[in-house]
Amino acid sequence: MRSVRLRTPAKINLFFRVLGSRADGYHEIESLFQAIDLCDELVINETRGPSTLEVPGRPELEIQDNLVWRALRWIEKQIGSRLSVSMRLTKNIPVAAGLGGGSSDGAAALLGIRTLFDLELSDDDLFQGALRLGADAPFFLMGGAAIGEGIGEQLTPVELPTDYGIVLVNPGFPVSTRTIYSEFHKTLTGPSKQSKLRRILTKARDPRHLLHNDFQPIVERLHPTVKQIRLRLEHAGVPRALMTGSGPTVFGLYDSETDRLEKARTRLPDRWLSFVAKPLDKGIATD
């Protein structure tokens, strides 16, 4: 039986700004996505009988609403027939953490199933399938660094320096993106804001000079631990720490010296999850 193994990267938002709300309930944004080498692993095997999903140590994720399952069902609908696969997802990326782990896993399932069965689905087909899973899911098919506009699905690749390391700190609890958008919506007044990310990128391409997140004040108010993490990272020598996406993960950028990254981690309480990562110039990778 055939098999495919995929590494599914997380992302950070180096820049995140909400421009306004839309009639369909979504929000127009401008964001700067950066893929990082904190990865889940998805193994898909051709099999006989009903399809299965195993998430070792995380049985609560073995549900039909998991984006990996939804990706399989979307492909089956496109080709008009059922597929038999066993899928094993090893989670390293925290869930509901602003790192896009679920979206990356779902996009990887689309890519992996197409590869496994050599399906006649184009890259654009996969992009549309990924968009059904989440606004940020198409980004993981591309990876690297990209401007995200619209609801995040209008992607423009950009070249940014990658000679830096990243410390990520997660408080160990999830944050609902829907809740944060709802809270932020209360502050939106008047017409939509003008986009400014592209203008900023013409003046400063160093990631450390781009950091901004509209959601950070709201999440820090609702979850004071996030503010504590930011202050602890700054005390550990991070010039400026930033929350990624809708949180609650906070990251800091360092030069590429690994000892400085590890030293920053040692100053953090054990109750917080911490990771060291590097930026990637690609997205989902297959072995």
Options 40, 105, 136, 214, the catalytic residue:
136
Q: Which of 148, 223, 137 is nearest to 180 (CA)?
A: 223
| Chain segment 142-200, per-residue pLDDT in tens | 999 999 999 999 999 999 999 999 999 999 999 998 899 888 877 776 677 889 999 99
15 beta partners: 32, 212
The three-state (H, E, C) secondary structure of 228-276, written as one string: HHHHHHHHCCCCCCEECCCCCCEEEEECCCHHHHHHHHHCCCCCCEEEE
Domain boundaries 3-157, corresponding CATH code: 3.30.230.10
| Chain segment 57-70, per-residue pLDDT in tens | 999 999 999 999 99
DSSP codes, the chain: --EEEEEEEEEEEEEEEEEEE-TTS-EEEEEEEEEEEEEEEEEEEE-SSS-EEE-TT-GGG-STTSHHHHHHHHHHHHHTS---EEEEEE--SPTTSSS-HHHHHHHHHHHHHHHHHT----HHHHHHHHHHH-TTHHHHHH-SEEEEETTTTEEEEE------EEEEEE-SS---HHHHHHHHHTT--SSPPPP-HHHHHHH---GGGT-EETTHHHHHHH-HHHHHHHHHHHHTT-S--EE-TTSS-EEEEE-S-HHHHHHHHHTS-TTSEEEEE-B-SS--EE-
Options 11, 40, 91, 214, the catalytic residue:
11
Cβ pair 241, 234 in contact under 8 A: yes
Choose the CATH number for 160-277 among 2.60.40.10, 3.30.70.890, 3.40.50.300, 3.20.20.80. 3.30.70.890
Cα–Cα dist 67/106, whole Å: 5
Does this model's pTM top 0.85?
A: yes
C-alpha atoms less than 13 angstroms from C-alpha of 208 in its C-beta half-sphere:
12
The phi and psi torsions of 202 (rounded to 5 degrees) equal -75, -20
Q: Predicted confidence band at 270 (pLDDT cuts at 50, 70, 90)? A: confident
Is residue 206 flagged as an active site residue?
Answer: no
pLDDT of residue 11 exceeding 70, the answer is: yes
pLDDT of residue 100 exceeding 80, the answer is: yes
Is the omega angle on the peptide bond into residue 248 within 30 degrees of 0, that is, cis?
yes
Is residue 193 flagged as an active site residue?
Answer: no
Q: Which of 169, 172, 166 is nearest to 274 (CA)?
A: 169
Domain chopping of the chain, boundaries: 3-157, 160-277
The two domains 3-157 and 160-277 share their CATH topology (first three levels equal):
no
Query: What is the average pLDDT across 190-219?
Result: 89
> Residue 18's pLDDT is what?
94
